[in-house]
A and B are shown apart, each in its own frame.
Chain A
Amino acid sequence: MTALLGFVLTAAVVGFFAGAALSVVRRDLGYATALAASVLWLVAAVGALVAGPVTGPSWSGPLGDAESLSLDGLSAFFALATAIVWVATSAYSLAYDDRPSPLLAFCYALTLGSIALLVASSSLLLFLVGWETMTLASYGMILQAHGRSGRVFSAAFVFLAFGEASTLLVLVAVAGLHAMSGSFLEVPVATAGALASIVFVAALIGFGLKMGVAPFHMSEWLPIAHSSAPSNASAVLSSTLTLAGAYGLFRVISLLPSPPPVWWGALMLGIGAISVLLGALFAAVSEHSKGLPAYSTIENNGLILVALGIALIARADGLAELAVFALFAAFYQALAHAIAKTALFLSAGYLEHGTHTFDLNSTHGRAKDADRAARLGTIAATLSLAAAPPLAGFVSEWMVLEALFQSYRFSAEWVQFVGLLAGAAVALAAGLILVAMVKFLGFSFLWKPSATGPTARARGLAAPVGAVGAVVLAVGVGAPWLLGLITPSVAAFAHTAVAAPVGSLLSIPDGWSILSGSPFGILSPPAVPIGLAAGAAVALGYFALGGGFGARRVEPWMAGSPPGCDGETYTSFGYSTGIRIMMRSVLQTREVRTGTGAGTRAELATPVSYNVDLEVLDVFKVFYDDLVRFGDAVAAALKAGIMTGRLGQYLAYILVVTLVVVIYVAAAA
């Protein structure tokens, strides 16, 4: 059985690369092969979680280590999450990609293959190979955006630059691990110390760059989403490229010594909380149907860091139960986000296909009459990301918050304080993200159409959206059992046997409820739909007994004015202007007016008109822009001042260096 799974695993990874090769022959063939490989990848992941670690054929690596493709509990979780995403995106791509060039399909399959490779690799070197391939392949995907412009190139370049910075830091982390363990294999190290902390910080920033957390969120989603990367690519990048970052972080931390210093967790918690808040804030004020989900990705990855940070602090404080619960929260958050975000990006692609725009102000309700699958899938995805019960995002956010609530148990007061601030940030973000999600859903699929323009249906694009939406519901309702399924992952991370945090409550059967700490909170996701169904049954019973459906359709009440008076209704922009004004200190909101102004009686004697734009600013983008300018200036100064090209000056440098070395050696002797 295990051998068979090992074969399936190898076939899956090879299949992705084969898909990349076949896509050159025929685009559809590439996607179809990727779809098949994704299914194999799913089988291998579930197999590894149920039947224990899976190892494929091994070979001798370049440094003599025995390398193989394998899935232990930890990597199996990430394989599972990515597999669900890829099945949907691959099926979607078959209907979506109509470009004449096969490049998108090629890069797509290559990205999938490289992520699979790094997740399934048993050695850090192979991991690095996958990591770098992934960066390059996804760079290629971004370049395939419609209407390639200077903006797309610059976005892709920013992505590549941050990707390489990330690779450098990951290299540092890997080197540090090798220095401590003497091996490139994924073996835990025991000795704590400064080196371990360096590895931790390098990994946190390096992988954090890929997860797009603040203050590095510039690196991933803002430029990409705004430059209209193809939607299948966006889904893969936002859902699974960030998962790859999360996997790297989880993997490296699992190799580092335990218990860790308490500041590791506190640092991670702080970065996570800031990401959550900024991500939610920028999502709420985004008018771009892919920019909005992209910012939401920052928020969700922040939540993963928050949960993982709590777990590390709890581990440092010896709070084993809380540590395990927070780990489950982190894993579940990663799963819930990946799935729901996939549906949202695919939905944005559907929207673009139907309306030819990414501007939520001009999609206003135009997709209300869209394919039912796309509508329902989007409703499930947005509600899940807004943490509405009983969907996946609700369960995971509840778990993260329950973990945060228990930060009062921490021993150090300053850590408790960090926990308190993080809790406040997460709570505020939960409100902001609700605004964002209501905006996305309302101004695309839900509200009465007011904008005019062509809308087109596309069943091939709608079906994957709906299917993923169904998975979102299942992952929410089935949470107590899925927590059981991913128990090996948590165990693999913690290097101890753990039990899923499920139990019983009142008359709800044992195992149907999630418990956060033995005397703390309790939640039963399956009870929610059962309760809803019971309510529906009562209502249906009433109707069956002759109540009848008293449905009545009336036009919306607009204080007596005709609905859509003058063809104008609330815009998506107006929906979140309150936040722009309230949070102006963070968003640097400013109003730009052009044209004649004031409106005195004399001026208004003739028609007066002016233009008003309310602009917000990402302060981090400004910071990076300034940084780039500063770097350019330094380089220019160096070039002008030191590297003058005069031979005499260079000889003088050599002389100085030689003297310094001679003095140093003499002193040492």
Chain B
Amino acid sequence: MRRPGWRVEPAAAPRADRASRALAYAPEDGAFSLVNDYSEGMSVLAPGGPDPAFDTPWAVWRTAAGAARPHALAPAPEVEGYGVFTFPYGPLSMGVPEAGRFDVRTYGERVLNLVPVGGFKSRRVRAAVVGQTVVDAALRVERLAGNFSAAHVAAFLDAVESAEGRAVPTEEWWVRGLAQELQRIYNHVHVIARVAEAASQNVGLAQTHALAEEVLRTQGAVFGHRWLFGALLPGGPARRLDPTDRRALATRLGRLGDEFERLWRLFLESRTFVDRIQGTCPVARDAAVEWGAVGPTLRASGVAWDDRLRIPVAPYTDLFLPLPHESGGDALARVATRAEEVRASFLVLEQMLERWPAAGAGDEPPGSAVAPGRGLGRVEAPSGDLVYDVRVAAGRVVGLDLRSPSQANWPLFAAGMRDAVFTDFHFAFESFGFAFAETDG
């Protein structure tokens, strides 16, 4: 069994300047697409608007709100043949506990083609927030994908603050970091639980599920809300982060971290579990780079790339952050990457609670606006790079766009499932950590 060690990016790799996120940005026509440039170590915004060849909902970070719904989330070849038919799975199935459909093209048993179809649960957030105050808009943004709420709010607020040129106290950044790392642990543990469920590892499922619940309760205890709604907003539920509470939290997290170590070791010893996900739904490095995969999906395919290391913001500038990555590209590699990231997050949290900044420790400078009143916010969400593009005027949102990690990874899932068998579906799907909620918006 492969045991990935900690890998730290060489110190020589320069961290991109925070303002350089707007690299080669052409704001005049308001249209741009997101292109990964790994020489720069991150994706950049390419000028000139969407590439007409990719003018499809899945490949382009669209400025226009909403494509026709429901719509395909990944392109796929047309497949015909004797006995070939389309098998719609969803939008209501317990196998995928979210409203979304998969059109499986098959001659039975084997997946010739799989098209994720989204748009069923679009709450029209991008349109609804226009004209609202930033704080009211944030209530909707954090409910865009409840299990990724901290990442979405952090990216949204970053974008707003960049647009407004407003500095934010350092401690606030640390609170955002704390919330995001907790939620990353929850989501990764949840993914492992879902994969264990698909593999009928019932004891493992129960134990992992219990651990996920304990993380939720920890979030509830610290932030007053199990899903961190309102936790990062002014006027939200009380958060308890005085030194006593931090010590209590450190003890609690230490226990959870030990618990996770035990569980992950047991999973790696379960041959049935490992066998089932090894080689399932492979994503080759080339494909991951070509399609612009993000997050654990990208890192599991051999590209060590993480926004937290690339974008110099508190608290990560002051912490040691391991960057686990794998080379297999299969479901096992993705699950293993997530597991290592859980350990990394526990490590980060430990450091954070030790070095918590004193109140009034100063402010963090905002990112530079890409245009007057328009800012970008980027964070490494649990499933990968999340980008917000927000336009504000007089404290109100006048435009909002986002490119979620799910959106970036759908084509890889679709490509990996080609020529797989039906039974691989759940292992493959769960290993990516998708949310239709953030794709549909």
Contact residue among A559, A580, A604, A605 (Cβ-Cβ distance under 8 Å from B92): A559
A561–B108 touching, CB < 8 Å: no
CB within 8 Å for A611 and B93 given contacts A571-B107, A581-B109: no
Q: Which of A39-47, A133-141, A562-570 contacts B (4 or more CB under 8 A)?
A: A562-570
Q: Enumerate A602-639 residues with CB–CB distance to B below 8 Å.
A: 602, 604-614
A610–B110 touching, CB < 8 Å: no
CB within 8 Å for A577 and B110 given contacts A559-B89, A599-B77: yes
Contact residue among A561, A570, A600, A607 (Cβ-Cβ distance under 8 Å from B78): A607
User: How many interface residues does B have (CB within 8 Å)?
Assistant: 37
Quick check: is B267 within 8 A (CB to CB) of the other chain?
Answer: no
A573–B54 touching, CB < 8 Å: no
B85–A568 touching, CB < 8 Å: yes
B88–A558 touching, CB < 8 Å: yes
Shortest Cβ distance from residue B64 to the other chain A in the assembled complex, whole angstroms: 20
Quick check: is B40 within 8 A (CB to CB) of the other chain?
Answer: no
What's the count of A-B pairs with C-beta under 8 Å?
111
B110–A559 touching, CB < 8 Å: no
Quick check: is B234 within 8 A (CB to CB) of the other chain?
Answer: no
B291–A601 touching, CB < 8 Å: yes
User: How many interface residues does A have (CB within 8 Å)?
Assistant: 38
* Whole-angstrom CA separation of A124 from B112 in the bound complex: 59
Which residues of chain B have C-beta atoms less than 8 A from A570's C-beta?
85, 87, 108
B108–A573 touching, CB < 8 Å: yes
Contact residue among B83, B89, B109, B290 (Cβ-Cβ distance under 8 Å from A601): B290
Instruction: Tell me the interface secondary structure of chain B in the complex.
Output: mixed
A578–B109 touching, CB < 8 Å: yes
A575–B77 touching, CB < 8 Å: no
Which residues of chain B have C-beta atoms less than 8 A from A600's C-beta?
287, 290
Shortest Cβ distance from residue B414 to the other chain A in the assembled complex, whole angstroms: 9
Which residues of chain B have C-beta atoms less than 8 A from A577's C-beta?
83, 106-110
B82–A599 touching, CB < 8 Å: no
B110–A605 touching, CB < 8 Å: no
Which residues of chain A have C-beta atoms less than 8 A from B82's C-beta?
361, 573, 613-614
Contact residue among B83, B86, B109 (Cβ-Cβ distance under 8 Å from A566): B86
Q: Mark A533-577, 1 if CB is under 8 A from B, else 0.
A: 000000000000000000000000011110001101111111111
* Whole-angstrom CA separation of A597 from B418 in the bound complex: 11
Shortest Cβ distance from residue A449 to the other chain B in the assembled complex, whole angstroms: 15
Q: Enumerate B74-106 residues with CB–CB distance to A below 8 Å.
A: 75-93, 99, 101, 106
B83–A573 touching, CB < 8 Å: yes
Shortest Cβ distance from residue B416 to the other chain A in the assembled complex, whole angstroms: 11
Shortest Cβ distance from residue A562 to the other chain B in the assembled complex, whole angstroms: 9
Contact residue among B77, B108, B109, B411 (Cβ-Cβ distance under 8 Å from A610): B77
* Whole-angstrom CA separation of A560 from B85 in the bound complex: 18
> Which of B75, B80, B88, B112 has the most A CB atoms < 10 Å from its CB?
B88
Quick check: is A287 within 8 A (CB to CB) of the other chain?
Answer: yes
Shortest Cβ distance from residue A72 to the other chain B in the assembled complex, whole angstroms: 50
* Whole-angstrom CA separation of A580 from B421 in the bound complex: 13
A612–B85 touching, CB < 8 Å: no
B83–A605 touching, CB < 8 Å: no
A560–B92 touching, CB < 8 Å: yes
A612–B287 touching, CB < 8 Å: no
> Which of B83, B84, B89, B107 has the most A CB atoms < 10 Å from its CB?
B83
B78–A574 touching, CB < 8 Å: no
B77–A559 touching, CB < 8 Å: no
* Whole-angstrom CA separation of A287 from B89 in the bound complex: 25
Shortest Cβ distance from residue A558 to the other chain B in the assembled complex, whole angstroms: 6
Q: Mark B46-86, 1 if CB is under 8 A from A, else 0.
A: 00000001100001000000000000000111111111111
B287–A604 touching, CB < 8 Å: no
Quick check: is B300 within 8 A (CB to CB) of the other chain?
Answer: no
B59–A601 touching, CB < 8 Å: yes
Quick check: is B415 within 8 A (CB to CB) of the other chain?
Answer: yes
Which residues of chain A have C-beta atoms less than 8 A from B75's C-beta?
599, 604
Q: Which B residues fall within an 8 A CB radius of A? A: 53-54, 59, 75-93, 99, 101, 106-110, 112, 287, 290-291, 411, 415, 418, 421
Q: Name 22 interchain pairs, CB-CB below 8 A, sorted by A.
A: A361-B82, A558-B88, A559-B89, A560-B90, A560-B91, A560-B93, A560-B99, A565-B86, A568-B86, A570-B87, A573-B83, A573-B108, A577-B109, A580-B108, A596-B77, A600-B290, A601-B290, A602-B290, A608-B78, A611-B80, A612-B79, A612-B80
Q: Which A residues fall within an 8 A CB radius of B? A: 287, 361, 558-561, 565-566, 568-578, 580-581, 596-597, 599-602, 604-614
Closest 10 CB pairs of A and B: A573-B83, A574-B108, A577-B108, A560-B92, A609-B78, A605-B53, A612-B81, A608-B77, A561-B88, A604-B75
